[in-house]
């Protein structure tokens, strides 16, 4: 199976009202903003969207909202992964029912399954749906790395597992995966700061947080790289490197939500156990945004 998921896929923040309820109207506005800025794919209820604090009914409401707003313009991927295989299957079936274009499955977190269990988990969820599946490796958050051998097995054995979001921060691992996956399997960077290095190894694009602020610039970087304009791509990367790192100087998505407020597009606060930035932290972020000419 092949799937067109985009090259700059924004992992969307979830807007909340002052009492931390879903702000679906703002979600529509955010959808339009991201597409207008240059995102050619969207991810709803990923971990940037604070998915562990969302009830299933809230996830479905967000999915329906974004799918309606984005339909016909960009593909919409829905995050359905949890640390519970059966719950992930149930959410995935809901995602297919509402008309999602693809699903994202994060590595089961906290319980640290061994590699054979990870394989069986991803296979079980993927075979419960006809939708294309992107698996998401982020060991810094989940406590478990998806080893290259496991990625290769899944890419070869499960036809609708078509992509990997790789956020392990290990370029050697990226090289090994890109070297061995089938030609129709897509690797995406899961770290904004590693997009350009990963493109040089064969990655297709980025599942991005920074694209809330600079989707067009990231898209220009990827386009210039693909056309062989490597110096231009490098200059874009270096210019925006401070924001690539600044959005993760403390636990995401706190810096993202503060950044959106600072640039004039607030999307509310964070659900506990996450907290808003302190005044000192926000001042640091203001300096970063000023440095890259976003303020």
3-class secondary-structure state, position 39 = coil
Residues contacting residue 164 through CB under 8 Å, at least 6 positions apart: 134, 135, 136, 137, 146, 151, 155, 177, 181, 185, 186, 187, 188
Kindly report the backbone phi and psi dihedral angles of residue 202, in degrees, each rounded to the nearest multiple of 5, phi listed first: 120, 5
Active-site annotation holder among 165, 204, 240, 257 = 165
Residue of 225, 260, 172, 170 whose CA lies nearest to 8 = 225
Kindly report the backbone phi and psi dihedral angles of residue 82, in degrees, each rounded to the nearest multiple of 5, phi listed first: -140, -175
Is position 59 annotated as part of the catalytic site? no
Q: How far is CA 139 from CA 23, 108, 293, in A?
A: 30, 10, 32
C-beta separation of 173 from 148 below 8 A: yes
Is position 119 annotated as part of the catalytic site? no
Residue of 183, 62, 43, 184 whose CA lies nearest to 101 = 43
* Rounded Cα–Cα distance for residues 40 and 149 (Å): 30
Determine the length of the chain: 295
Active-site annotation holder among 119, 136, 188, 240 = 136
Check the CA dihedral 22-33-13-85 and report its sign. Answer: positive
Residues contacting residue 141 through CB under 8 Å, at least 6 positions apart: 47, 109
Q: DSSP secondary-structure letter at 16?
A: B
C-beta separation of 65 from 24 below 8 A: yes
End-to-end CA distance of the chain: 43
Q: DSSP secondary-structure letter at 162?
A: E
Catalytic positions, please?
136, 165
């Amino acid at each position: 199976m092949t799937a067109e998921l985009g090259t700059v896929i924004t992992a969307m923040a979830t807007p909340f009202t002052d009492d931390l309820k879903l702000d679906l109207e703002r979600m529509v506005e955010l959808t339009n903003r991201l597409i207008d800025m240059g995102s050619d794919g969207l991810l709803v209820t990923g971990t940037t969207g604070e998915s562990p604090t969302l009830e299933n009914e809230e996830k479905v409401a967000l999915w329906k909202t974004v799918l309606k707003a984005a339909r016909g313009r960009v593909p919409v991927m829905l995050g359905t992964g949890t640390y519970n295989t059966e719950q992930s299957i149930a959410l995935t079936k809901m995602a297919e029912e509402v008309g999602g274009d693809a699903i994202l499955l994060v590595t089961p977190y906290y319980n640290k399954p061994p590699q054979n269990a990870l394989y069986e988990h991803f296979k079980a969820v993927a075979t419960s749906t006809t939708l294309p599946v992107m698996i998401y490796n982020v060991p810094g958050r989940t406590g478990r790395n998806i080893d290259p051998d496991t990625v290769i097995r899944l890419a070869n054995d499960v036809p609708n597992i078509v992509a990997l979001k790789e956020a392990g921060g290990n370029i050697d691992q990226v090289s090994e995966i890109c070297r061995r996956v089938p030609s129709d399997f897509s690797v995406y960077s899961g770290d904004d700061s590693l997009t350009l290095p990963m493109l040089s190894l064969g990655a297709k694009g980025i599942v991005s947080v920074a694209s809330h602020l600079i989707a067009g610039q990231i898209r220009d970087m990827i386009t210039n790289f693909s056309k062989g304009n490597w110096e231009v791509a490098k200059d874009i990367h270096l210019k925006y490197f401070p924001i690539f790192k600044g959005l993760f100087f403390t636990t995401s998505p706190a810096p993202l939500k503060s950044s959106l407020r600072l640039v004039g597009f607030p999307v509310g606060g964070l659900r506990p156990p996450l907290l808003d930035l302190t005044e000192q932290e926000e001042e640091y972020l203001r300096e970063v945004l000023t440095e890259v000419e976003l303020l």
